[in-house]
Structure 1
Amino acid sequence: MLSSRFKSAASPWRAMAAEMIRRLGSRVSVSAFSTSYSRATSYSIIADFRSDTLTQPTDEMFTIMRNASRGDDVYEEDDAVRALEAHVATLTGHEAGLFCASGTMTNQLAFRASLLTPPASILCDSRSHVYRYEAGGLASHSNATVYPVQAITNRGHHLTVQDLEREFVTDDGDVHMAPTRLISLENTLNGTVMPLQDVQAIRQFSQERNVRLHLDGARIWNATVAQGCDLKDFTSQFDSVSLCVSKGIGAPIGSVLVGDKDLIKKSRHFRKMFGGGWRQAGGLAAVVHWCIDHVWPTMKKTHALTKQLAEGLEREARGAKIYIPAETNMVFLDLAGSGIRLGELSSRLELEKGIKIGNRYTLENQTQVRLVLHWQITKQAVDGFIEVVKDMALKAASRPNDVPHTATSKSAVYGIPKRFS
């Protein structure tokens, strides 16, 4: 028999599960829910479009983890971790790799290991993750300043050499300035691909000026599939590359940093200093290896579904716009002009189709949302999404359109509260 203390602690979870059962009605049985809220949620949400980090580990992944090596990674004694690092280094055309907990960590380690002597500045796209969404890590960890660059030459699609030339700070002895020591690119950026020829031109530019070139390749997996080229074609152009594995290829956690042996040795030391040394990480590494082999090849299908969703929403929402090209696995939707309210759309999708777009806390006048597809998004989910939008658009056509356009911010574009990244 459960103790009264345990019953008291468990009751909130039971209440949450009961509420979900009430909302979902006869679509699921009471027996489908446990007293665990997370377990209950997994039955109610069949498709999560908030991010490709929100894939769920499969039973096969847990089997792989159970059978993986169990050595200590800080001592560099785990076989699965060593194998993964060597494999990704080979795939990318680099000497060595380092398996870490997150893409933010691998980006920041690359900067810290590259920018050893201040003063230094880096150039990056003004929209880039390393500049906006890594908690000021560059200033804190690397004592570096950032000169954000506007992508003007290609009308905002991606940076070019011409854009970088405008902001480049030469090391000419001027004591007032922090010379450019590193250029950081992001591919994909908002789901759009920086073409290989522009990457190669920027590589030549960086070499001529003797500065390092880093790639935040959180979704470089998607970029290579969209371009129809080998991963190494892109990644070999850089001195360091961060490859997130929880995005795109759907592993439960992690990111791999690649570069030359000296950079990885320094990064391993800094990882320990930052508190990022993990111990028995072999199970996670083994799953990443499996995802590279089995999930990465499914991206072409995911990109096709993304295009289908973008076209369907623009067609059926009657006035809605896709305001960033859907080139890989992201759809940026603006409902202004359609008469559809984003909060209402979010609620209906979740209640009727089990689809989550993360707008529970949306502002009344918010109209923009980022939708991200991944390997666990099905055609059924995409069709269901379009079906709900079509129905709402028909009803909205009978009332005045009073949904104003709002300025784009991360919380608006991503459709999530500001406290999340």
Structure 2
Amino acid sequence: MPSLTDVRFAEIAQEVACDVLTKSQDDDNILKLQEISREFVSDTITVPTKEMNAYALRASLGDDVYFEPSTALLEAHVAKVTGKEAGLFLPTGTMSNQIALRTHLQQPPYSVITDARAHIYRMEAGGTAFHSGANSIPIIPDNEHHLTWEDIEARIVSGTDVHVAPTRIIALENTLNGTIMPQKDVLEISKNAHTRDIIMHLDGARIWHVAAETGLSMKELCDPFDSVSLCLSKGLGAPIGTILVGSKSFITKARWFRKLFGGGMRQTGYMVGCAAYALTHNFPLLPRVHALARRMQQGLEELGVGILSPAETCMLFYDPSPIGVEYWEIVEGAAQLPQPIKLNGSRLVMHIQTSPQAIEDFLELIRTLKEEKAAAGWKPENAPPKKKTLFRDVYVKAVRPA
């Protein structure tokens, strides 16, 4: 007869047991993949395929805080491809960027120069100030496309004035909002920065797109930088992960900070297996993604829609006001299609699982809305005066008037 302890343990075990699968989970996953193929919200929404999962499940089973064989192989591979000495696998791009800054910055005071649109400055919850105690110097490029040395030089803080924080790092981002930073400008900034003992960091979350579009090797793109953060879940389609690369001493210290930040992970084999599959099988798909983005831009322009930022790689920003349509009308109309399309404003992002038909359906929706406006008496001369849109304001959320 079971003891009272055994009975009580069985009750606790029943309480603890958890099943996160629905009765129709396999069918649900198929439907989710179909939904994702019709979402223009981000390229982070892609999901592992059966083929990716099958490869990843064969990866090693080590503990990465101690040593994980598959993870070590991935880190070494990405370091080699980018021309750096060592690499470190991290769960997110934000953690990768912030650990890179914290590792480079030693004794305050110091400041970090960024583009005013940069993810490090705008989208990492103030991490540069919180984690590193560093001042950020955001710069608006004069050309409204990318930073140049002329933009940066005048904003560098140097000298011994105790009122200011000297510039220790220039952090660039490529791509930035889908746009490519010309390599000649990267090289010029790097050369001048290094002559002043200023460190160069690259948020290369979508640097894979730059290589695919320009034909420049990953090493060429990363050579100007002391450290580079390369996302594996944006664009490439891995479910999680970023690789930070740099010198051996830099990565040794960064690994320490990874643990301090709470980013030391255990059995990472499956995650890096997905990443390795993505590098091998999904990177070659990026030119197709760029072609889809260009098709989207072409179709919008043919309908008279304004383009705020063109499709240089995987995304573009558009303005429907020239045809009398507002963003919220498009978002609501897209959600009501027989096969709904999901978007949230001016940014349209294509990814490796985007359906070409979704683009055509979206363009047809815009055409329909345009015709409805015309039928209701709207005319092009009713369009609001075209005003210069600041580059940093191209990301417009769709909000329905109250």
- TM class by shorter chain equals 0.7 to 0.9
Find the counterpart in structure 1 of residue 376 from structure 2: 399
Output one character per residue of 1:377-411: Cα deviation in whole Å (capped at 9) or x when no partner. Answer: 12222212112211221112122558868987989
**TM-score, structure 2 length as denominator?**
0.87
1:248 alignment counterpart:
235
- 1:146 equivalent to 2:131? Answer no
Q: Matched residues in 1 for 2:334 and 2:53: separation?
A: 30
Q: Does residue 121 in structure 1 map to residue 111 in structure 2?
A: yes
1:212 shift after superposition: 0.3
Contact (CA 8 Å) 1:45, 1:354: kept in 2 or not? no
> Is 1:267 aligned to residue 244 of structure 2?
no
* 1:414 shift after superposition: 5.7
For 1:36 and 1:175, the matched residues in 2 are separated by: 63
5 Å matches for 1:359-374?
Answer: 359=344, 368-374=345-351
Question: Which of the residues 156, 164, 169 maps onto 2:152?
Answer: 164
> Which residue does the alignment assign to 2:359?
382
Match of 2:3 in 1: none
1:345 aligns with 2:296: no
Q: Secondary structure at the match of 2:181?
A: coil
Give, in whole Å, the separation in 2 of the partners of 1:56 and 1:355: 19
The answer to which of 34-43 and 159-168 deviates more is 34-43
Q: Offset at 1:344? A: 2.7
1:323 maps onto 2:311 in alignment: no
Instruction: Out of 335-344 and 178-187, give the one that drifted further.
Output: 335-344
Partner of 2:266: 279
Supply the distance in 1 between the matched residues of 2:324 and 2:128 (Cα, whole angstroms).
42
Q: Cα 1:262–1:175, aligned 2, differ >3 Å: closer, same or farther?
A: same
Q: CA offsets, 1:187-231, max 9 Å, x none?
A: 011111001111110110111111100000001111122212111
Q: Name the amino acid aligned to 2:249.
A: D
Instruction: Name the aligned partner's letter for residue 217 of structure 2.
Output: D
One-letter amino acid of the structure 2 residue matched with residue 162 of structure 1: E
Aligned partners of 2:356 and 2:284: how far apart in 1? 17
Flag the 1:91–1:342 CA change in 2: closer, same or farther, 3 A: same
Cα distance between partner residues in 2 of 1:355 and 1:408: 31
Render the CA deviation track for 1:296-333: whole Å, top value 9, x for unaligned: 111111111100101101212x3x21111211110101
Query: Are the structure 2 counterparts of residues 408 and 395 from structure 1 closer, same or farther at C-alpha, using a change threshold of 3 Å?
Result: farther
Instruction: Report the CA distance shift for 1:208/1:80 in structure 2 as closer, same or farther (over 3 A).
Output: same
Following superposition of structure 1 onto structure 2, how do residues 95-134 of structure 1 map, counting pairs within 5 Å?
95-134=85-124
Per the normalisation by structure 1, the TM-score is: 0.83
CA separation in 2, counterparts of 1:281 and 1:42?
Answer: 24
Q: Which amino acid aligns with 1:72?
A: D
The aligned counterpart of 1:179 is 166
Counterpart of 1:79 in structure 2 is 69
Calculate percent identity across the aligned residue pairs.
41
Matched residue SS, 1:322 = strand
Identify the residue that residue 176 of structure 2 maps to in structure 1.
189
Please list the CA deviations of residues 220-262 of structure 1 after superposition, one character each: whole Å capped at 9, or x if unmatched: 1111222121111111110000001110111111110000011
Shift, 1:354, TM fit: 3.3
Letter in 2 for 1:396: K
The whole-number CA distance in structure 2 between the counterparts of 1:225 and 1:355 is 30
Cα distance in structure 2, aligned partners of 1:353 and 1:95: 52
Count, aligned residues = 377
* Counterparts of 2:43 and 2:108, CA distance in 1: 36
- Which residue of structure 2 aligns with residue 223 of structure 1? 210
In the alignment, is the contact (CA less than 8 A) between 1:169 and 1:177 conserved in 2?
yes
Q: d(CA) in 2 for partners of 1:374 and 1:229?
A: 21
Change in Cα spacing, 1:36 to 1:294, as seen in structure 2 (3 Å) is closer
Alpha-carbon distance, 1:38 to partner = 7.3
